[in-house]
Amino acid sequence: MRAVVRGTERDLLVFSGRAHLELSERIAEELGTELVPTQARDFANGEIYVRFEKSVRGADCFVVQSHTAPINDWIMEQLIMVDALKRASANSITVVAPFYGYSRQDKKHKGREPISARLVADLLTAAGADRIITVDLHTDQIVGFFDGPVDHLFALPLLADHIAAHTDQSRLTVVSPDAGRVRVADRWCDRLGAPLAIVHKKRDKDVAHQVTAHEVVGEVAGRVCVLVDDMVDTAGTICAAADVLYANGASDVIVAATHGILSGPAVDRLKNSRVSRFVFTDSLPSAAAVDLDKVEVLSIAPVVAQAIKEIFENGSVTRLFEQ
């Protein structure tokens, strides 16, 4: 085990939970280090045990865990890891959650509902986390739920540049699948120099995952449409939006999303969809596990590793995206 040292006496140590070990290893490799050896196992009744096999006293520790299924188990494991580091006298503890669990529950839509995204932040604080690194939160307001620094990273440059390199940019139209993604789609337009279109949809408030897409605002006929979103879960919204685009004359539809959750019927919907390409990052292991030629997975590890390096060296994470 070797630690990264950058002109300081402090050690940078990277730890990984069991949710997405491959991504953690890629991040450590980008940093020129290795993951700290860790014992992690489940007791017969489901309780999680964690112990680190290296001293962490005085070290700056980064705990990587993407909140994939079974999401509650992996959030709990990360909380336990943070608690162990706090009790072992770590100098600082940064939670690295490429996908932040419960991010869709960021506000109350009806009475007697929780704000679970805030609860997750409170749990991380109580466990001993000093800082959070995450990628493409569902809404920006979640940054304010944590009483400490939050480095909100973006996969847009990675995804947009990949699309631009493999598509005729003069034919591109960026499409928001609903009104809530318009700001994100605007950033894509600036990056690609492409026009914007919006799919108007109506969701049944009493039936989960039930979406009816209606009409398109903007010119899509004869265009290559890039549907952009932060996540694809059951793929109902994105596939319905793609159908509407084709019905309005789009020549091709590409989907680009940071988080490929791909729950339940998602894989079948991707397979049967007319969408030519789905481009995700490896923030979750589920996207990489899909064996479909039309699914492409890009690694978010270099972006996360660079942010970790900037934090450790007291640099600027913001400048990574200003460039």
Stretch 229-255: mean pLDDT: 95
The per-residue DSSP string of 134-145 comes to EES-SSGGGGGG
Strand partners, 135: 153
Structure tokens at 66: 């993407």
Distance separating alpha carbons of residues 224 and 170, to the nearest angstrom: 9
The per-residue DSSP string of 275-301 comes to -SEEEEETTSHHHHT---TTEEEE--H
Report the Cα 181 to chain-centroid distance in Å. 15
- Is residue 201 among the annotated active site residues? yes
DSSP tag of 45? T
Distance separating alpha carbons of residues 266 and 211, to the nearest angstrom: 14
Annotated catalytic residue: which of 86, 108, 201, 205? Answer: 201
Structure tokens at 238: 């994105």
Q: Share the mean pLDDT of the chain.
A: 93
**What are 150-194's pLDDT values in tens digits?**
999 999 999 999 999 999 999 999 999 988 889 999 999 999 999
Backbone angles phi, psi at 125, to 5 degrees: -65, -45
Neighbouring C-alpha atoms within 13 Å toward the C-beta of 99: 29
If pLDDT is split at 50, 70 and 90, which confidence band does 27 have? very high
- Nearest partner of 63 among 74, 72, 48, judged by Cα: 74
Strand partners, 279: 256, 296
Stretch 16-42: mean pLDDT: 98
Strands (E), the chain: 12-16, 38-42, 48-52, 60-64, 92-97, 131-135, 150-153, 172-176, 196-203, 211-217, 224-232, 252-260, 277-281, 295-298
Q: How many other C-beta atoms are found inside a 10 Å radius of the C-beta of residue 292? A: 10
Structure tokens at 62: 């980064």
**What are 51-82's pLDDT values in tens digits?**
999 999 999 999 999 999 999 999 999 999 99
19 pLDDT higher than 50:
yes
Per 3-state DSSP, the chain is made up of helix, strand and coil in percentages (nearest 5) of 35, 25, 40
Task: For residue 8, give the 3-state DSSP assignment.
Answer: coil
**What are 244-300's pLDDT values in tens digits?**
999 999 999 999 999 999 999 999 999 999 999 999 999 999 998 999 999 999 999
Question: What pLDDT is stored for residue 7 in this prediction?
Answer: 47
The pTM of the full predicted model, rounded to 2 decimals, is: 0.92
Question: What pLDDT is stored for residue 204 in this prediction?
Answer: 61
Q: Which residue type does 2 have?
A: R
213 pLDDT higher than 80:
no
**What are 122-149's pLDDT values in tens digits?**
999 999 999 999 999 999 999 999 999 9
Neighbouring C-alpha atoms within 13 Å toward the C-beta of 194: 32
Question: What pLDDT is stored for residue 261 in this prediction?
Answer: 97
| Between 85 and 10, the higher pLDDT residue | 85
205 pLDDT higher than 80:
no
Question: Phi/psi zone of residue 133: left (φ > 0), alpha (ψ -120 to 50 degrees), beta?
Answer: beta
Helix (H) or strand (E) holding 125: helix 116-127
- Nearest partner of 172 among 257, 245, 237, 238, judged by Cα: 245
Task: For residue 97, give the 3-state DSSP assignment.
Answer: strand
Distance separating alpha carbons of residues 265 and 243, to the nearest angstrom: 17
